[in-house]
Amino acid sequence: MRKTIFLFFISALFTGCVSQANKPVPQPETTILSVPEITVLFAGDAMQHFPQINSARTADNGYDYKHCFQYIEPYFREADFVIANLETTLSDRNFSGYPRFVSPWQFARDMAYSGIDILVLANNHTCDNGAKGIRNTLFYLDSLQIAHTGIYLDSLQREKIFYIEKRPFKIALLNYTYGTNGIPIPKNTVVNLIDTALIAADINKARQEKATNIIAFLHWGEEYDIHGTAQQEELAEWLHDKGTDIVIGSHPHVIQKAEYTTKAGDTTGITAYSLGNFISNQSYRYTKGGITLSLKLTRKSDTQYGYRYKYMNNFVYTPIENGKKRYYIVPEPIGNAVITENSHSRTFRKFVQDNDAILQCPETKETEILFPDTLSYEPFPDRTFPI
């Protein structure tokens, strides 16, 4: 992975004549850096409708998505780990969009290039291309050395809890979906479904393996519903009661509320019910993007951790360039500088207003950042919610 735990080896220095050459070489001491806090970024649904596939096609019939992520990449580079929901299967041929997604493998390659470290895979489009789609998706992710969880080739792989590790943090990442659009899960493959008995067993195993924190990334809720459902709230409460610190949602393709979880006056975690779209071709109200959630975990003691989150609106900007529709994920802080056409600019501003209203966040002043020769970025808006 791009972000790793650094090991520093202090080698013993010794000198001597030829007669000393056969003396045992002292073993190096190992020091592992222990960090007091860690930042994890979460992005929403990474989708590939057919117009996006056509847009990414190159002159030599390859596919290149790097431009899609050029504006969001600096934010990813600032985090320790970045996690997104891959809502398509991968292949090298026979691509298709909605309702059964099959996308070029280069889409995942270029997400990783932009700084995304981990992809969660359990969602309602996991089985769109049958067993072949699951096998191909896992093959390409493994070949590209992109970490993933949520679907597996066998039950033995599924039994292993996925961990995000950076001492002293050992964070379990669990991933489940409400279903697979009625498509049966192929034989000899495993897709994590939302099943409280299964989830409880995974949580207990993570706690036994001394996870410092537990993230549950759930594909749930109703599409295009900005309010969320009672079932989501009940499941989130159950997850926190069982020991899950962080609950992250996907699937509605619009954002939903985010909130702290408290118990006896203490903050014990967060819930973000839906992050909306990370990238897609959807264009109606609320769907033209989503939020990136920045979660900072702080170690207070061996058993206590602090939680702070803030969000940033991300808008999918789709100008026509050289006769081709393009797709750019534009973070809010540089939106006014990047998005200059009146129609796109109005849609962008309305999108930001809608999201802020859903999240009930006080309005913050928009900031334009322009540099002489290049467009840079501003840190996340100061939207750390009070407790």
Q: What share of the chain has pLDDT > 90, as a percent? A: 78
SS3 string, 207-228, reads HHCCCCEEEEEEECCCCCCCCC
Within 8 A by CB and 6+ apart from 31, the residues are 7, 8, 10
pLDDT at 104 over 50: yes
In Å, how far are 53, 129, 219 from 134, measured between CA atoms? 19, 7, 17
pLDDT band at 379 (very low <50, low <70, confident <90, very high): low
Q: What share of the chain has pLDDT > 70, as a percent? A: 84
SS3 content of the chain, % helix, strand, coil (to 5): 25, 30, 45
Determine the 3-state secondary structure of 193 from DSSP. Answer: strand
| pLDDT at position 18 | 34
User: What six digits make up the tokens of 218?
Assistant: 């759930």
- Stretch 355-362: mean pLDDT, rounded? 81
User: What six digits make up the tokens of 366?
Assistant: 């928009």
25 against 262, higher pLDDT: 262
Give the orientation angle of helix 196-208 with respect to helix 230-242, to 10 degrees.
Answer: 30
Within 8 A by CB and 6+ apart from 19, the residues are none
Of 142-146, 301-305, 366-370, which range is least confident? 366-370
Is residue 338 within 8 Å of residue 375, measured between CB atoms?
yes
pLDDT at 382 over 70: no
- Stretch 346-352: mean pLDDT, rounded? 96
| pLDDT at position 262 | 81
User: What six digits make up the tokens of 188?
Assistant: 């000899």
pLDDT at 169 over 80: yes
| Element spanning 127, H or E | none
pLDDT band at 136 (very low <50, low <70, confident <90, very high): very high
pLDDT at 2 over 60: no
Determine the 3-state secondary structure of 282 from DSSP. Answer: coil
User: What values do phi and psi take at 224, rounded to 5?
Assistant: 70, 15
Q: Report the chain's mean pLDDT, rounded to a whole number.
A: 87
| pLDDT at position 21 | 41
Give tens-digit pLDDT for 195-254.
999 999 999 999 999 999 999 999 999 999 999 999 999 999 999 999 999 999 999 999
Of 109-113, 143-147, 367-371, which range is least confident? 367-371
User: What six digits make up the tokens of 62?
Assistant: 């390859």
| pLDDT at position 240 | 95
User: What six digits make up the tokens of 88?
Assistant: 């398509």
pLDDT at 28 over 90: no
Of 21-35, 240-254, 338-352, which range is least confident? 21-35
What are 124's strand-pairing partners? none
Determine the 3-state secondary structure of 155 from DSSP. Answer: helix
Determine the 3-state secondary structure of 332 from DSSP. Answer: helix
pLDDT band at 380 (very low <50, low <70, confident <90, very high): low
Give tens-digit pLDDT for 254-282.
999 999 888 777 778 899 999 999 999 99
Of 154-163, 282-291, 373-382, which range is least confident? 373-382
